[in-house]
Structure 1
Amino acid sequence: MNIENLIRKNIKQMKSYSSARDEFEDFEKEMIFLDANENPFENGVNRYPDPQQKSVKSILSKINNITEDQILLGNGSDEVLDLLFRAFCEPRQDNVITLPPTYGMYDVLANLNAIENREVILTKDFQPDLVQILEAVDQKTKIIFLCSPNNPTGNSFSDESIVTLLQKFKGLIVIDEAYIDFSDKESWLQELNDYPNLIITQTLSKAYGMAGIRLGILYASKEITSILNKIKPPYNVNVLTQLKAIERLKKNDSVKKEISVLKGNKELLFKQLLEVNFVVKIYESDANFILVKVDDASKRYKQLLEQGIVVRNRSNQTLCENCLRITIGTADENNKLLNTLKSLQNA
């Protein structure tokens, strides 16, 4: 496939904005900066951040064995997803495919960019319906979004399904791996060089515990990242976010320990939830949450809320009737949740 054929015509023709920090790149060298109209009085954040976030990318490159030019960083995953719509999808002409139940921002971003979202519902076991997906594809289909592990169901999609789509679809396949660190399955990162249409998004919000700094990560071929760099805001990732990300990424061993604890907590919570008499079904999860089917999700959600516990009622999503999504907390938080649920068994 030729990526050039997928790019919007106006994006091909436009010239990207060149910021002061794009023109001067040697941030390690001691210089007097009189080029960007900044306040010269040093306070730690008076200078513009590195627009290419080289220090963060260098660490991510080493961790994932990916070249730095295959990485794009954004203000949360939502920004990098939005950039994909802006670069490749022609408003009021093109379409994308999503697989409900799934992450709701795909649909929001499609609407925001005036792109048709063709929804193909997952099978009853929450797997992609390949026949229906490929039937929904036409010459104007630019992107298929696969959330794996999937939100809100928690399961991963089969490798066979993903490979089939990568081979048969001539547009872009985006695999959203926000929860991959909690899964026993391998990331698709090492397949990037085999599939030029593969894009992978990840985040520091989940396993790395950095939701507050808003750092989203996109991995793709350098051809794709160069297009996205052309249209991204010049200083989209601020100084404090970059510093916090570097600090946390250097503590990879601590992150792995936290992931291990959360996976253990999830296994225990899964077993204990089976003892609650109004729990109808618990779905297997490769993420840091569990989807639980109960007798009356709205009722149980309100009861938990009254006791100071907030979960997510997912009943409004396809295939998720009377389902609550419960994030794995600390051992103490999980115990309080269980004790509360058991106290509600006759309520």
Structure 2
Amino acid sequence: MKIENLIRSNIKTMKPYSSARDEFEDFEKEMVFLDANENPYENGVNRYPDPQQKSVKAILSKINKISENQILLGNGSDEVLDLLFRAFCEPNQDNVITLPPTYGMYGVLANLNAIENREIILKDDFQPDIEKIMKSVSERTKIIFLCSPNNPTGNSFSDESIVTLLKNFNGLVVIDEAYIDFSDKESWLEELNDYPNLVITQTLSKAYGMAGIRLGIIYGSKEIIAILNKIKPPYNINLLTQSKAIERLAKLDVFKNEIALIKEFKEYLLKQLLEVKFINKIYESDANFILIRVDNAELRYNQLVKEGIVVRNRSNQPLCDNCLRITIGTPEENNKLLNTLKLLPDA
């Protein structure tokens, strides 16, 4: 498979915008910057940020043992996912494959970019139906999106299924690993250089606890990243976001401790939920949330809201009738949830 065969024709020939900070990159020297029409009075944010976020990428490169030219950062994962559509999918011609129940933005971005979204519902065990996926692939299929661990189900997809797609699909296989840090499974980053069509997205919004700064990450071959760099907005990651990310990534010991606590709280919650009489099923989870099937999801959701607790009703998703998704909170929040659930009246 050649990546160049997947690129939109207009993207191949377009000339990218070159910002002032792209043309002069030596930030180490003490220079007088009169090139970007900035306000010259120093206030900490009067200058444009590094458009390539080199300091952040250097840290991520070291942590994940991935070359910096295989990393692109976006304004949340949503931006990097959107860039994939813009770079590789021809509007009103190409299609992508998604596997509901899954992250809803894949479908939203497909619609936004006028790309057909071929939905292949997961099997009853929430694993990909490889046979149906491959039968749905056409010569205009550019991307297959896999969310693993999956949202909202919480499970990881089998390695065998993913390898089968990587080896047999002549397009991009995008693995969304937003929740990978909560899983005992290894990231697919270790396989990145073995599969030219493998693309991995991650985020600082979940495990790193930085949802407010909106920093998404995409890892891929240097060829794929070069294409995405060609079309990304010039200053898509602001200075404050870069600074907070560097600060947080420097505290990996704190991060690892928080992950361990969240996983411990999840195990406690899983055991205690067994005592709630109207819960019909509790699904296994590799993420920082638990999917449960109850007698009446709408009723239970509204009852919890009245008690000051907000969970997510996922009943509108395939295979998720009467399912609620519960994020793992602090011990105090988890106990409030459990005490409330155990006291709710019968339907």
SS of residue paired to 2:175: strand
**Alignment correspondent of 2:175:** 175
Is residue 4 of structure 1 aligned with residue 4 of structure 2? yes
**Alignment correspondent of 1:152:** 152
Partner Cα distance (2:121, 2:338) in 1: 32
**Alignment correspondent of 1:249:** 249
Superposed, 1:258-269 pairs within 5 Å as: 258-269=258-269
Which of structure 1's runs of 4+ aligned residues deviate more than 3 A?
A: none
Residue-by-residue CA offset, 1:91-129 (whole Å, 9 max, x unaligned): 000000000000000000000000000000000000000
Partner Cα distance (2:294, 2:338) in 1: 14
Q: Is the 8 A contact 1:289 1:328 kept in 2?
A: yes
SS of residue paired to 2:194: coil
Structure 1 residue 133 displacement after superposition:
0.1
**Alignment correspondent of 2:334:** 334
Partner Cα distance (1:345, 1:138) in 2: 51
**Alignment correspondent of 1:64:** 64
Partner Cα distance (1:172, 1:19) in 2: 29
**Alignment correspondent of 2:43:** 43
Partner Cα distance (2:326, 2:345) in 1: 18
RMSD: 0.5
Structure 1 residue 165 displacement after superposition:
0.2
Tell me the amino acid that sits aligned with residue 86 of structure 1.
R
Is residue 297 of structure 1 aligned with residue 275 of structure 2? no
Superposed, 1:88-127 pairs within 5 Å as: 88-127=88-127
SS of residue paired to 2:234: coil
SS of residue paired to 1:200: strand
Is residue 201 of structure 1 aligned with residue 163 of structure 2? no
Q: Is the 8 A contact 1:96 1:143 kept in 2?
A: yes
**Alignment correspondent of 2:237:** 237
SS of residue paired to 2:96: strand
SS of residue paired to 2:193: coil
Superposed, 1:127-138 pairs within 5 Å as: 127-138=127-138
**Alignment correspondent of 2:33:** 33
SS of residue paired to 1:157: coil
Structure 1 residue 234 displacement after superposition:
0.1
Partner Cα distance (1:96, 1:89) in 2: 8
Structure 1 residue 345 displacement after superposition:
4.0
Partner Cα distance (1:253, 1:32) in 2: 39
Partner Cα distance (1:212, 1:33) in 2: 31
Structure 1 residue 346 displacement after superposition:
3.5
Q: Is the 8 A contact 1:276 1:345 kept in 2?
A: no
Structure 1 residue 190 displacement after superposition:
1.1
The alignment-based identity, stated in percent, is 80
Residue-by-residue CA offset, 1:57-112 (whole Å, 9 max, x unaligned): 00000000000000000000000000000000000000000000000000000000
Structure 1 residue 214 displacement after superposition:
0.1
Partner Cα distance (2:210, 2:122) in 1: 30
Tell me the amino acid that sits aligned with residue 154 of structure 2.
G
Partner Cα distance (2:318, 2:49) in 1: 42
Residue-by-residue CA offset, 1:306-326 (whole Å, 9 max, x unaligned): 010000000000000000000
Partner Cα distance (1:27, 1:105) in 2: 37
SS of residue paired to 1:226: helix
**Alignment correspondent of 1:313:** 313
Structure 1 residue 30 displacement after superposition:
1.4
**Alignment correspondent of 1:223:** 223
Residue-by-residue CA offset, 1:28-47 (whole Å, 9 max, x unaligned): 22111100000011111100
Segments of 5+ residues of structure 2 without an aligned counterpart are: none
SS of residue paired to 2:11: helix
Partner Cα distance (2:28, 2:288) in 1: 38
Number of aligned residue pairs: give it: 347
Partner Cα distance (2:28, 2:323) in 1: 52
Partner Cα distance (1:56, 1:8) in 2: 29
Partner Cα distance (1:26, 1:299) in 2: 60
Partner Cα distance (2:26, 2:136) in 1: 48
Structure 1 residue 209 displacement after superposition:
0.2
SS of residue paired to 1:302: helix
Q: Is the 8 A contact 1:278 1:345 kept in 2?
A: no
Structure 1 residue 266 displacement after superposition:
0.3
Tell me the amino acid that sits aligned with residue 228 of structure 1.
L
Partner Cα distance (2:346, 2:223) in 1: 59
**Alignment correspondent of 1:86:** 86
